[in-house]
Amino acid sequence: MIEAVLQTLLNGAASGGVYALVALGYTLIFSVLGVINFAQGALFSLGGYLTYLLLGGKIGVNGALPGLALPVGLPFWLALLLAALGSGLIGLAVERIAFAPLRRRNAEPLLSLITSLGAGVVLVNLLQMLMGAEGYAFPQGAAVVANLPESLLIGGARIRTIQVLLLLISAVAVAALSLWLERSRSGKAMRAVAEDATTATLLGIDSEAIVRLAFLFSGMLAGLGGGLIGMSVSLAGPYFGISYGLKGLAVLVLGGLGSVPGAIVGGLVMGLAEALIPAAASGWRDALAFAILFAVLVLRPSGLLGRRQLEKV
């Protein structure tokens, strides 16, 4: 009994941690540019596939290069890190192609919504060409890769190691990001740009460099999330990141657009709420995030921890 409860809570916290990663990715970009990057879900997928390949996984029969694999699989933490970096770099490319040209022309912000969606469509379909539409299970259980047992005994309860890893890694990533924002020079610069881009520029901050940094980190967070979920659950085709991208969006609003603590709290709330849905109604789980989101938007549009915005007249 206690085992089931603990496992449920851990599952919830673990997926909540991943939601928080995705939502933080949105938050970084939203706070510096005031726009949503809809390619985030595709970058999530990309992270999952990169992790799979870097761990030594083979391309399936429907892919462009069936049976191909890296000569050696990397250790799990290195694969995860490199996959995140790869997603981050592609995120940077998305910024160059989908956002920068519009920004230069002072175009309507709405347009970047479309271009980033377009970038996501391109990415996902490239993945589909290369890897096929099939699902992938990871070469070995990730816990085994990390030389850890499949399950752990904590306080008399046996729980899956991978979920603990998921939670720990997301926690470390979130902590590192927060620390960077608080302490580092570039992190402070990013907060300054988020507060007021014009003033920040006058103070000598290169806001374009900060924007690029935001996209890099945002892509890395999404890629990391994709890798983690891939290891814990498996990759259900190139589109699997889209639903995480959408849930991340729900978390983003739940926590309040642009709020870092909001994204973390929102992610955990969402993950735990989903975990508490009884198995009999599990089909409805995907609707829960959006039902909560809907309720929050209607009752408190600024989110749980967001600032209420007043229109200037």
Partner 1 sequence: MIDNGLLVQMILGALLGLSVYLPMAAGQLSLATPAFYAVGGTLAALLATQGSPQASISLGAVFGEMLLAAALTAGLALLVGLPVLRLRGIYLAIATIALVEIVRVAILNLPFTGGATGIFGIPQPFQQPFGYVLLSGGLLALCGWLCQRLEASRLGRSMAAIRDDELASRCMGIQTTRVKLTAFVASAVVAGITGVIAAHYLNTWNARQGSFDVAITTLAFVILGGSRSWLGPVVGGLLLTALPELLRPVGDLRLVLFGLVILLGPVFFPQGLITPALLERIGRWKP
Residues near partner 1 (CB under 8 A) are 35-36, 38, 97-98, 101-102, 105, 107-108, 110-115, 117-126, 128-129, 242, 246, 249-250, 252-253, 257, 283-284, 286-287, 289-291, 293-294, 297-298, 301, 311, 313
Closest distance of CB 109 from partner 1, Å: 8
Q: With b meaning 16 or more CB within 10 Å and e meaning fewer, what string describes 252-267?
A: bbbbbbbbbebbbbbb
Closest contact distance (angstroms) between CB of 94 and partner 1 is 9
Q: Which residue from 2, 24, 37 is spatially nearest to 172, judged by alpha carbons?
A: 24
Choice between 42 and 143, CB closer to partner 1: 42
CB of 160 to partner 1, least distance (A): 26
Q: Work out how close the CB of 287 gets to partner 1 at its nearest, in angstroms, rounded to a whole number.
A: 4
Q: What is the dihedral of CA 137, 139, 143, 146, to 10 degrees?
A: -150
Cβ closer to partner 1: 50 or 98? Answer: 98
CB closer to partner 1 out of 225 and 238: 238
Q: How many CB atoms lie within 10 A of CB 29?
A: 26
Closest approach, Cβ 124 to partner 1, in A, equals 8
Cross-strand partners of 157: 154
- Select 142 or 249, whichever has its Cβ closest to partner 1: 249
Terminal alpha carbon distance of the chain: 58
Q: Quote the least distance from Cβ 298 to partner 1, whole Å.
A: 4
CB-wise, 137 or 295, nearer to partner 1? Answer: 295
**Smaller CB separation from partner 1, 117 or 152:** 117
Residues 302 and 309: beta-carbon distance below 8 Å: yes
Per-residue CA distances from 249 to 26, 50, 70, 129, 270 (Å): 7, 23, 34, 27, 11
- Report whether 282 contacts 236 (CB < 8 A): no
Closest CB 263 distance from partner 1, rounded Å = 14
Q: What are phi and psi of 9, to 5 degrees?
A: -65, -40
Q: How far is CA 28 from CA 14, 25, 79, 106, 139, in A?
A: 21, 6, 24, 20, 33
Helix axes 260-275, 285-299, angle to 10 degrees: 140
Among the residues of the chain, which ranges form H helices? 2-33, 40-54, 76-94, 100-104, 109-131, 142-145, 161-183, 185-195, 197-202, 207-232, 240-255, 260-275, 285-299
Closest CB 11 distance from partner 1, rounded Å: 20
Residue nearer to partner 1 on the CB measure, 61 or 298 = 298
In terms of CB distance, is 158 or 300 closer to partner 1? 300
